[in-house]
Amino acid sequence: MSGAVLFAVTGMEGEGWADALRALDPARPVRVWPDVGAPEEIAYACAWKPPAGALKGLAGLRAIFSIGAGVDALVGDPALPAEVPLVRAVDPDLSTRMSEYVVLNVLAHHRRLPRALADQKAHRWIQHDQPAAPAVRVGILGLGELGTDAARKLAVMGFQVAGWSRSPREVEGIACFAGAEGLAPFLARTDILVVLLPLTPATRGIVDTALLRGLARDGALGGPVLINAGRGGLQNEADLLAALTDGTQLAASLDVFETEPLPGDSPFWDLPNVLVTPHMAADIDPAAFARHVLGQIRRLEAGAPLQHVVNRAAGY
C-alpha cells in the first residue's frame, strides 16, 4: 500500500484539501484528522496549525508538508516531531498569486490610488502627479521564491527593482543586496518597500522606526511606501502607525498584522493612506498544493531528496 497522507489542520476545512489530493492519486489513502485510521500507515502529514499533538506517535512519518509558504507557526509548535523533515509550500500558483498582489499594490501607490479613492468619496476632481515607472525604485525585503517572482514581474513593467536576502543572490535585472551590511544601502535606494520575509527570530519586528527612516526620501513619489505581505510580526505596529501619521511614511498596503483578524478598533482601518487586506495575498489552491505534495512524495519514494526542506535552526 502507498504511504497514507494525513491532513491535520485547524481554522480551515480539511476535506477539500484531502479531496484535491485523492483526485490526483486515487490509490493513495488520504485521511483527515481525527480520522487517522491505523497510525502506523501514516507516512506523510499536511499541516496548518495542527491540533495539539496530532502528529505525535506516528512512527512511520517521513515528511510534514506545510499548507503554506510561511512556516513560523509550525516551527514554533513544540508538539511537531523534530526529527521529521518539514517541507514548505512552493508552487508556481502560489508565486503567481503573490506577484499579482505585489504588482497590484505597487501600481496602486505608484498611480496614487488611495488619493483617487479619497477624492472620489469627497467628489473632488484632482489630477495627482503620475511619475513614470522607471523613475520609481522598488525594494523587496526577502528575495526568495515569492520575492524573486515579484521582482522579475515588476522589472518587466519598468520599475528599478532591488532585493535583499540573508545570503548573496544573483537575479538578472535585479540589484541584489545581502546581509546586515547590505540593508542600509538597499533601503537608501528604495521608494516602495515590499516585505516578503519569513517570520523568524532574526526578522521579528524588523520593520521599525529605524528601518522606515532609512528609506529613500528623494524619490518621485514624494515619500516612502510600505507593502507588507510577509507576516504581521515583521512590523512594529506602534512604530509603523507613528510613521504613517507623522509623515515619515507616505502610505502603506498591509495584508498581515500582529493580531489577525485585525481588531475592529485598530487605527489602521481608518488611515486614508493605508490599504488593508485580510491576509489574502496568496492562498495556495488545493489542486496546486496536491501537485506540490505528490511531486515531493514521488521524489522521496524514488530515492531522491525532498526539496524546500525548512532549516529549523534558521526558522524558514
Residue 268, class by beta-carbon neighbours within 10 Å (0-12 exposed, 13-18 middle, 19+ buried)? middle
Q: Which stretch binds ligand OXD (CB under 6 A): 63-71, 167-175, 200-208, 215-223?
A: 63-71
Answer whether 21's CB lies under 8 Å from 290's CB: yes
Number of helices (H), then strands (E), in the chain: 9, 12
Residue 205, class by beta-carbon neighbours within 10 Å (0-12 exposed, 13-18 middle, 19+ buried)? middle
The residue count of the chain comes to 316
Rule CB under 6 A: say whether 69 interacts with ligand OXD: yes
Rule CB under 6 A: say whether 254 interacts with ligand NDP: no
Q: Letter for the amino acid at 282?
A: A
Owner of C-alpha cell 511614511: 249
**What's the rounded Cα separation, in Å, for the pair 249 and 236?**
14
Kindly state the smallest distance separating residue 60's Cβ from ligand OXD, in Å: 27
Name which of ligand NDP, ligand OXD, none residue 20 binds, using a CB cut-off of 5 to 8 Å depending on partner kind.
none
Rule CB under 6 A: say whether 144 interacts with ligand NDP: yes
**What's the rounded Cα separation, in Å, for the pair 174 and 216?**
18
Q: Which stretch binds ligand OXD (CB under 6 A): 16-24, 62-70, 104-112, 214-222?
A: 62-70
Site string for ligand OXD, 72-111 (x = CB under 6 A): -----------------x----------------------
Q: In Å, what is the CA distance from 164 to each residue of 142, 195, 271, 291?
A: 6, 10, 28, 30
- Residue in 70, 139, 144, 163 binding ligand OXD, rule: CB under 6 A: 70
Candidate list 28, 115, 189, 279, residue with the active-site label: 279
Rule CB under 6 A: say whether 144 interacts with ligand OXD: no
Active site residues: 231, 279
Which residues are near ligand NDP by CB under 6 A? 69-70, 98, 142-147, 164-167, 169, 196-200, 202-203, 229-231, 255-256, 279, 281-282, 316
